[in-house]
Structure 1
Amino acid sequence: MSMKTLTPVFVFTTLVLLPLTATTTTIQDLLRSRGLPVGIFPDNVKSYRLNRDGRLEVRLESSCMAEFDGRVYFDRVVTANLSYGGLVGLEGLSQEELFLWLPVRCIIANDPSPGIILFDIGVAHNQLSQSLFEVPPSCMPQEVMIEKFDRKEGFDFQK
């Protein structure tokens, strides 16, 4: 074969097949493409899967706690229906509210106003600044987070 014969094959492979093999995206890329901030999920995401019906399953390395405006708890697996600007029907995410842990039912971006993230915990809606979600939060084991907050707030946590 001559070099002229290989050139079209090389060009075809490079332009057509290479992009098909390089479609791996991060959870942050997926969130950004759906109008959500990249820091909704913590920094220990192991993998994710998005079904054709829009059901998102995010697997973490381990369950853990993070801090936005308050403490949140992530199960090892978090699922939700992903739509543009929202995660609805969330399972595996809880938020501390007045010393109670309540399940977060949905997260909505830019509703009702831009720059606000709405956390629906059923009995209340928390409006948080989108700036809190610019980077994925550090996710710590529950024991570390409890110790951090207890020292910070001056409480002595008894086990």
Structure 2
Amino acid sequence: MASLNVKLLFLHFFIFYCFTFTIAASSSTNGPTVYQVFPKFGLPTGLLPNSVKSYSLSPDGEFVIEMEYPCFIRFEYLVYYETKITGKLKYGSISDLKGIQVQRFLLWFDVDVIRVDLPLSDSIYFQIGMINKRLEINQFKTVHTCTRKELASSIQPPNPKGDIEMLITE
């Protein structure tokens, strides 16, 4: 009886592993693009730049996005995208986010959470440390071109080892 339980447990993990691997592989090749997946979760397509190389999405919402190169986009703030972005996707939010930073007053801050109002409104919220910043969602509705160099040559890319937990506000 114990060996039957062990075999069933092994079979369960094997099927789960194969299912997760299939979703990850199809998301990068034949499945929908990440730009098609985000709206299904109530998020705008323009949260990511046009330089996404591949992505994987597991059944529990955890994802890994591979970028072609690290790059910058100027929204209301300058945003830096690393070559690997990870997080957890739920309807209306991305949590446990790693790989996206925003510049404020010459300092770089990690974006930890992105969320929208439910029901949807004209606002999107970015959590940086303990600060929530509300922005107009319109600037994230289209996919933007990502540049390899900063828009201002005097600004250096973020140093992830120097994280600051609080965002200085105006």
Same fold judged by TM-score > 0.5? yes
Q: Which has the larger Rg?
A: 1
Are 2:97 and 1:90 aligned?
yes
TM-score relative to the length of structure 2: 0.70
Identical counterparts, % of pairs: 29
2:149 to 138, 142, 154: 142
Aligned to 2:87: 80
How much has 1:23 moved relative to structure 2? 5.9
Q: Contact conserved, 2:106 with 2:155, CA < 8 A, in 1?
A: no
Which amino acid in 1 is paired with 2:52?
V
Which amino acid in 1 is paired with 2:144?
P
SS at match of 2:47: coil
1:66 to 73, 76, 79: 73
SS at match of 1:82: strand
How much has 1:142 moved relative to structure 2? 2.8
What is the number of residues matched between the two proteins? 129
CA RMSD of aligned residues (A): 2.3
Q: Contact conserved, 1:67 with 1:137, CA < 8 A, in 2?
A: no
Are 2:48 and 1:44 aligned?
no
Which amino acid in 2 is paired with 1:26?
T
Structure 2 residues without counterparts, runs of 5 or longer: 1-28, 157-170
Instruction: Tell me: CA distance 1:112–1:119, structure 2 relative to 1, closer, same or farther (3 Å).
Output: farther
Aligned counterparts of 1:41 and 1:113: Cα–Cα separation in 2:
19
Structure 1 residues without counterparts, runs of 5 or longer: 1-21, 148-156
How much has 1:53 moved relative to structure 2? 1.9
Which amino acid in 1 is paired with 2:51?
N
Runs of 4+ in 1 over 3 A off after TM superposition: none
